[in-house]
Chain A
Amino acid sequence: MELCGWGRYPRIDAQVSYPRSAAQCARSMGGAGSVVARGLGRSYGDSSLGPRVLDLRGLDHFLGFDQATGVLTCAGGVSLGDILRVFVPRGWFLPVTPGTRFVTVGGAIASDVHGKNHHVDGSFTDHVSGIELLLGNGERVAVSPTEAPELFHATCGGMGLTGVILSASLRLKPIRSGGIVETTIRAPDLDAVLAAFDDNAGASYSVAWIDCLARGRHLGRSLLMLGEHAADGPLAAPSATPWPVPFDLPAGLLNRATASAFNALFYGKALRERRTRRIPFARFFCPLDALADWNRLYGRPGFVQYQFVLPAAAGVAGLREVLGRIAASGRGSFLAVLKVFGPANAHHLSFPLAGYTLALDFKVEPEVLRLLDQLDRIVADHGGRLYLTKDARMSEATFKAGYPRWQEFESVRARYHAIGRFASTQSRRLGLQ
């Protein structure tokens, strides 16, 4: 059947199996050749694509919960949304929440996803105490920071290329309310928003929307959103089902919609310099989840998301160069998401490193692909890299320059029977075995 990632580019023809247990996973991997794991398909490009795909959404059982410590053990196909629905009413929250709750625990580990709290709490796998991994030879092994640590470091952020994540244990964090106290700050330019991030380094959550079309002295004008868990109030989980987008819509619509939303806030009376209000957590963390299939808003050709990180040292100069390039092209989405990362962890292919990360969408077209190649060079020159789970097009050279530990990653894969057993369309493009 035809499969694609969230960006709907590229599309490939795949043979898909739907295991519902570890034993069925092992059986689906049987025979020669390689497979790729897939969760909820929220990676944008070709990370979860390949000729043979294991759709792991059927591995969706909770396996254990320790009321005293908040450690949850669950199968790899459990979604973060399911965890929130069950545990928020009991006063527990995810340690790290990405911009959508429709991702699986396996996918969150394989991409080592980050949230709006990276600067204080690190990424998802920093809160994972153990993983049960199905290796290419059919063996099931427990890996953790202390058991087979090199395999743990390769698996976290390893894009499914070391084995199938059957289950994992993660530490939930206690909350007293399902509400978030959100403060929005208006920043007229890039220096102002970076300074505002600095001033608020102690905030639990922070992220900025940045207007990519602003140029000259307005370059980098942004809205910075800060969040804190409310101290009291109902422990309510999201119940509303998302609104469907049943048809592909003309490209460009999304840009007009986001532009008017941004401008309304930026210039609106409600927001002078700063506004504080209380909102449900889902609206703070996953605003786009209110609309199912919003990727169809980009139309049939699909889109790519470009997310890079620049080390803090490259700082403002690097960001200004990239933003200037994008604004001049007039091609990107109206909004980009800007975030300050804390220090990197010890995983081989984990994306975050101390510095600035920016993500924005581009409709797929030849001029855009050329523009992105140019941006790759700017990012590389500043010692940055691209996020694998968003990527559909980077070159092998760009990957290897951005992820200098790739050889270490490959040697762990070789030792643990992964080579020739786990591969994606992306891993082949990037020159991994």
Chain B
Amino acid sequence: MKKILIIGATSEIAEATARLWAAQGHRLALRGRDGERLRAIAVDLGIRGAGAVDTAPLDVNDFDAHADAIDAACRALDGIDIALIAHGTLGDQKACERDFRRALRELDTNAISVISLLTHLGNRFEAQRHGTIAVIGSVAGDRGRQSNYVYGAAKGAVAIFLQGLRNRLHAAGVQVLTIKPGFVDTRLTRSFAKGPLWVGPGRIAADIVSAIDGKADVVYTPFWWRYAMLAIRAIPERLFKTLRL
């Protein structure tokens, strides 16, 4: 039985992942800003087989609350084996272009809050010398495109931060996993027209669980995005800048 902390636990991808862990009987601590929803999710996960489920509200943009929140979660779980950071917002790119305060908020939610959480978690995991830190990034962080480069920059920053952290925590035997989903049909992408490349959150969840079990460093999910992004990164910038992407 593992002890698992999920931050941004009301996310559809996070909840689908928590269901798989619940079915395996693990203990879960859920954090997110919607306390009522967290409690409903906790009851559900309990019925699905979770060993125990603890909930407490956390707005990730309250950076000062991070240290205490992680301490409290560790106390509730009596230790921590896996931390999954899942929260994110897909801000309005156009609005960010007009108003830097909007861009700053997106960067706070999608990058700075994650870096703050990783700072606390990194130190704790380095000291305990075992466990997994997993973060949901995005294929959007692999290359900047005009349609969402504020979001992409945040996800890209987190990916590079995670590379460094992975390198540092390797000696301590801690797994650091970067999860890069492609197109996922969730609340975040409700207004998008959906094509054949879209998958449901359950598919991403299954990949997250198996990437953690398999001690992976980076996982593209579904797998074909690894090749798609390889191709996209290979396009010369001289050509790339002329594309409408």
- Cβ of A61 within 8 Å of any chain B Cβ, yes or no, is yes
Taking the nearest CB of chain A, how far is it from the CB of B199, in angstroms?
10
CA–CA, A116 to B117, complex, Å? Answer: 53
Most A CB contacts (10 A, CB to CB) among B41, B43, B203 go to B43
Which B residues lie within 8 Å of A246 (CB)? Answer: 196
CA–CA, A241 to B196, complex, Å? Answer: 16
Contact of B43 among A21, A63, A86, A241 (CB under 8 A): A63
Contact of B40 among A18, A21, A65, A244 (CB under 8 A): A21
Chain A residue at minimal CB-CB distance from B12: A58
Instruction: Assess whether B44 is in contact with A18, with CB atoms less than 8 Å apart.
Output: no
Instruction: Assess whether A20 is in contact with B37, with CB atoms less than 8 Å apart.
Output: yes
Instruction: Assess whether A62 is in contact with B47, with CB atoms less than 8 Å apart.
Output: yes
- Cβ of B48 within 8 Å of any chain A Cβ, yes or no, is yes
Chain A residue at minimal CB-CB distance from B193: A1
Contact of B47 among A18, A65, A241 (CB under 8 A): A65
- Cβ of B23 within 8 Å of any chain A Cβ, yes or no, is yes
- Cβ of B238 within 8 Å of any chain A Cβ, yes or no, is no
Contact of B190 among A18, A21, A244 (CB under 8 A): A18
Taking the nearest CB of chain A, how far is it from the CB of B15, in angstroms?
9
CA–CA, A224 to B196, complex, Å? Answer: 38
Instruction: Assess whether A62 is in contact with B48, with CB atoms less than 8 Å apart.
Output: yes
The interface on chain A, measured as residues whose beta carbon lies within 8 A of the other chain's beta carbons, has a size of 12
CA–CA, A392 to B50, complex, Å? Answer: 43
Once A20-B37, A61-B40 are accepted as A-B contacts, the answer to whether A86 and B196 lie under 8 Å apart by CB is: no
CA–CA, A65 to B48, complex, Å? Answer: 10
Which A residues lie within 8 Å of B23 (CB)? Answer: 86
CA–CA, A182 to B48, complex, Å? Answer: 30
Which A residues lie within 8 Å of B44 (CB)? Answer: 61-63
CA–CA, A86 to B48, complex, Å? Answer: 6
Most B CB contacts (10 A, CB to CB) among A21, A62, A244 go to A62
Chain B residue at minimal CB-CB distance from A62: B47
Which A residues lie within 8 Å of B37 (CB)? Answer: 20-21
- Cβ of A64 within 8 Å of any chain B Cβ, yes or no, is yes
Which B residues lie within 8 Å of A241 (CB)? Answer: 203
- Cβ of B187 within 8 Å of any chain A Cβ, yes or no, is yes
Which B residues lie within 8 Å of A20 (CB)? Answer: 37, 187
Instruction: Assess whether A86 is in contact with B47, with CB atoms less than 8 Å apart.
Output: yes
Most A CB contacts (10 A, CB to CB) among B40, B196, B203 go to B40
Which B residues lie within 8 Å of A63 (CB)? Answer: 43-44, 47
- Which residues of chain A from 32 to 82 have any CB-CB distance to chain B below 8 Å in the complex? 61-65
Q: Taking chain B's interface residues, is the majority helix, strand, or loop, or is none over half, making it mixed?
A: helix
- Which residues of chain A from 174 to 189 have any CB-CB distance to chain B below 8 Å in the complex? none
Which B residues lie within 8 Å of A86 (CB)? Answer: 23, 47-49
Instruction: Assess whether B41 is in contact with A18, with CB atoms less than 8 Å apart.
Output: no
CA–CA, A86 to B40, complex, Å? Answer: 17
Chain B residue at minimal CB-CB distance from A61: B44
- Which residues of chain B from 43 to 73 have any CB-CB distance to chain A below 8 Å in the complex? 43-44, 47-49
CA–CA, A290 to B41, complex, Å? Answer: 29
Most A CB contacts (10 A, CB to CB) among B48, B187, B196 go to B48
CA–CA, A21 to B37, complex, Å? Answer: 8
CA–CA, A135 to B23, complex, Å? Answer: 35
CA–CA, A62 to B40, complex, Å? Answer: 9
CA–CA, A247 to B170, complex, Å? Answer: 46
Which B residues lie within 8 Å of A64 (CB)? Answer: 43, 47
- Which residues of chain A from 59 to 118 have any CB-CB distance to chain B below 8 Å in the complex? 61-65, 86
Taking the nearest CB of chain A, how far is it from the CB of B57, in angstroms?
16
Which B residues lie within 8 Å of A18 (CB)? Answer: 187, 190
Taking the nearest CB of chain A, how far is it from the CB of B103, in angstroms?
27
Taking the nearest CB of chain A, how far is it from the CB of B183, in angstroms?
15
Instruction: Assess whether B41 is in contact with A61, with CB atoms less than 8 Å apart.
Output: yes
CA–CA, A65 to B45, complex, Å? Answer: 12
CA–CA, A392 to B209, complex, Å? Answer: 42
Taking the nearest CB of chain B, how far is it from the CB of A12, in angstroms?
17
Chain B residue at minimal CB-CB distance from A247: B196
Taking the nearest CB of chain B, how far is it from the CB of A62, in angstroms?
4
Taking the nearest CB of chain A, how far is it from the CB of B72, in angstroms?
24
Instruction: Assess whether A61 is in contact with B196, with CB atoms less than 8 Å apart.
Output: no
Chain A residue at minimal CB-CB distance from B47: A62
CA–CA, A21 to B34, complex, Å? Answer: 12
Which B residues lie within 8 Å of A21 (CB)? Answer: 36-37, 40
Taking the nearest CB of chain B, how far is it from the CB of A239, in angstroms?
10
- Which residues of chain B from 168 to 222 have any CB-CB distance to chain A below 8 Å in the complex? 187, 190, 196, 203
CA–CA, A241 to B207, complex, Å? Answer: 14
Which B residues lie within 8 Å of A62 (CB)? Answer: 43-44, 47-48
Chain A residue at minimal CB-CB distance from B44: A61
Q: What is B's interface to A at a CB cutoff of 8 Å? A: 23, 36-37, 40-41, 43-44, 47-49, 187, 190, 196, 203
Q: Which 3 A-B pairs have the closest CB atoms?
A: A61-B44, A62-B47, A62-B44
16 sampled A-B residue pairs with Cβ under 8 A: A18-B190, A20-B37, A20-B187, A61-B40, A61-B43, A61-B44, A62-B43, A62-B44, A62-B47, A63-B43, A63-B44, A63-B47, A65-B47, A86-B47, A86-B48, A241-B203
| 6 other A-B residue contacts (CB within 8 Å) besides A18-B190, A63-B43 | A21-B36, A61-B40, A61-B41, A62-B48, A86-B23, A86-B48
